[in-house]
Amino acid sequence: MNSALTISHHEAQLAVAVMVAEIERRSLAGVMVVSDAHGELIALLRMDASPLSSVTIATNKAFTAARERIASSEIGKRVRHPQHGFDIAYFGDPRFIGWGGGVPVMVDGQCVGAVAVSGLPEAEDIEVALMGVAAILRPDISPA
């Protein structure tokens, strides 16, 4: 029998709380998603004034990071430089996305889920998503 680790509801809530605190500290608004290892939603929060399109984008970033076990930005780099990568259409699923902000959560070499942020500038999406991952991996970190 196989058993797999996964992100718990409590860990997802903690990650979202850390990310919300950081986005509010920056006086911005965004969408945060935490998914399981298959890229399916555990938690989604859309802050007031965040773009509606960011709901789908954040969900797809988490899906991509979880399914591919690499940051969504890495998929984007490979797509933008096809001589070293591939055409994203070959994935066969329109949910795959190459914008930065989706980060897998890895434990002992195994993907247990993903965290994603959308609605901020791409570099900030990545920074805040990494804070969410850290909150899951180090639950002693609390929201500011």
Contact 59/136 with Cβ under 8 angstroms? no
Does residue 89 form part of some domain?
no
CATH number of 27's domain: 3.30.450.150
Q: Is 121 helix (H, G, I), strand (E, B) or coil?
A: coil
- Report the domain count for the chain: 1
pLDDT string in tens for the chain (144-residue length): 777 789 999 999 999 999 999 999 999 999 999 999 999 999 999 999 999 999 999 999 999 999 999 999 998 887 776 666 666 666 677 888 999 999 999 999 999 999 999 999 999 999 999 999 999 998 776 555
pTM of the model as a whole: 0.90
Distance CA 118, CA 127 (A): 11
Range of the domain at 51: 9-71+100-137
Does residue 3 form part of some domain?
no
